[in-house]
């Protein structure tokens, strides 16, 4: 049996954030890292530095905006697709899918959708529907699949410090939340929520109003596990220290640890018995400080 650490990280500009990315890779050593918001053209991706850090990578760049990448420690991700089926004409670089380390990884950057209502919100919902349709086909294969990325959806009011000042925001709209619930209803496991059913977990703190300093965060970066993988979930967390560094992204890396090889044995229920764990312990673990 072997352990597999998979992370998702909206880096908000890979060129501005390259030192932060390399420091994080060196310290946390994820086996697979899904990145969003590269904000770099295809030719501007810093592949040499990433290779030097011990990672293979594929990426889908775009000038100025969007952009996604999949990094793998000591391996080359085998690209499956770089657009959603039926939505190949999407002008934004928001999707990348690869097979690596024995799992199929989808890296997504779902549209923000603000201002709402308006064409940007309409685009968010259209993108979401294409993604939901494709996710269903991935789930039905029965293969080990992870859907990792910035979903730009706060699933419930338990996933935000206080919904009051965000009620009109696209991230909390009923349409956004309904789409996310319909995705989960296909059978996916929201890994962070499964590991910490009763905790406040945030992955994003905007740059405004000292939200980081006040821990006024949102949970919008998600890792969804297919049926074959959900019993293998051993741990999960948010690398909050990355958000506290100078010149940080407004997101923190969010990760899961899977134990490969337990899927065949665990036919009964979800492997970790975290539901029984006291709150104080889980809240500490949700904010891990690594050795």
Partner DNA sequence: ATGTCGTCCCCCGGACGA
Binding-site residue numbers are 10, 37, 150, 152, 250-251
Active-site residue identified among 55, 109, 151, 202: 109
Catalytic residue among 31, 60, 150, 239: 150
3-class DSSP state of 249: coil
User: How is residue 278 written in tokens?
Assistant: 């006291």
Smallest distance, DNA to C-beta of residue 33, A: 18
Calpha distance 260→133 (Å, rounded): 27
Cβ neighbours of residue 265 under 8 Å, at least 6 residues apart? none
Indicate the residue among 13 and 288 with the shorter CB distance to DNA. Answer: 13
Residue 180 a catalytic site member: no
3's enclosing H/E stretch is strand 2-10
Pairing of strands 254-260, 2-10: antiparallel
Q: Which residues are annotated as a binding site for Mg(2+)?
A: 10, 37, 150, 152, 250-251
Q: What is the CA radius of gyration of the chain?
A: 18
Query: How many Cα atoms are found within 13 Å in the side-chain-facing hemisphere of 158?
Result: 7
Q: Are 2 and 116 in contact (CB under 8 A)?
A: no
Question: Catalytic residue at 211?
Answer: no
CB of 12 to DNA, least distance (A): 5
What is the binding site for DNA (CB under 7 A)?
A: 12-17, 37, 39-41, 63-65, 111-112, 114, 120, 165, 207-209, 247
**Residue 247 or 268: which CB sits closer to DNA?**
247
**Nearest residue (CB) to DNA, 232 versus 249:** 249
Residues whose CB is less than 8 angstroms from the CB of residue 216 and which lie 6 or more positions away in sequence, other chains included: 161, 162, 205, 209
Min CB(43)–DNA separation in Å:
11
Q: In this complex, which beta carbon is closest to DNA, that of residue 79 or of residue 90?
A: 90
Active site residue 109: yes
Are the C-beta atoms of residues 37 and 15 closer than 8 Å to each other?
Answer: no
Q: Is 192 left (phi over 0), alpha (psi -120 to 50) or beta?
A: alpha
Minimum CB separation from DNA for residue 122, in Å?
12
Residues with a known catalytic role: 109, 150, 251
């Amino acid at each position: 049996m072997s352990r597999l650490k998979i992370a998702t990280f909206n880096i908000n500009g890979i060129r501005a954030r390259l030192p932060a990315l390399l420091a994080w890779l060196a310290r946390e050593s994820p086996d697979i890292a899904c990145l969003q918001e590269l904000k770099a053209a295809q030719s501007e991706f810093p592949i040499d530095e990433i290779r030097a850090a011990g990672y293979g990578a594929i990426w889908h760049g775009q000038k100025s905006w969007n952009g996604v990448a999949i990094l793998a420690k000591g391996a080359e991700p085998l690209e499956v697709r770089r657009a959603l089926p039926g939505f190949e004409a999407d002008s934004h670089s928001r999707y990348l899918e690869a097979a690596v380390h024995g799992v199929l990884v989808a890296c997504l950057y779902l549209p923000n959708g603000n201002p709402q209502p308006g064409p940007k919100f309409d685009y968010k919902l259209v993108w979401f529907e294409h993604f939901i349709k494709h996710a269903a086909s991935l789930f039905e294969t029965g293969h080990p699949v992870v859907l990792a990325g910035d979903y730009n959806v706060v699933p419930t009011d338990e996933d935000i410090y206080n919904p009051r000042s965000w009620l009109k925001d696209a991230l909390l709209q009923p349409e956004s939340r309904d789409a996310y619930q319909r995705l989960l209803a296909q059978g996916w496991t929201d890994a962070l929520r499964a590991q910490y059913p009763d905790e406040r977990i945030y992955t994003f703190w905007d740059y405004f109003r000292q939200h980081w300093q006040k821990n006024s965060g949102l949970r919008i970066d998600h890792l969804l596990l297919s049926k074959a993988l959900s019993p293998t979930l051993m741990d999960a967390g948010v690398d909050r220290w990355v958000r506290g560094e100078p010149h940080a992204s407004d997101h923190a890396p969010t990760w899961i640890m899977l134990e490969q090889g337990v899927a065949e044995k665990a036919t009964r229920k979800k492997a970790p018995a975290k539901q029984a764990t006291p709150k104080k312990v889980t809240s500490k673990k949700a904010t891990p400080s690594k050795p």
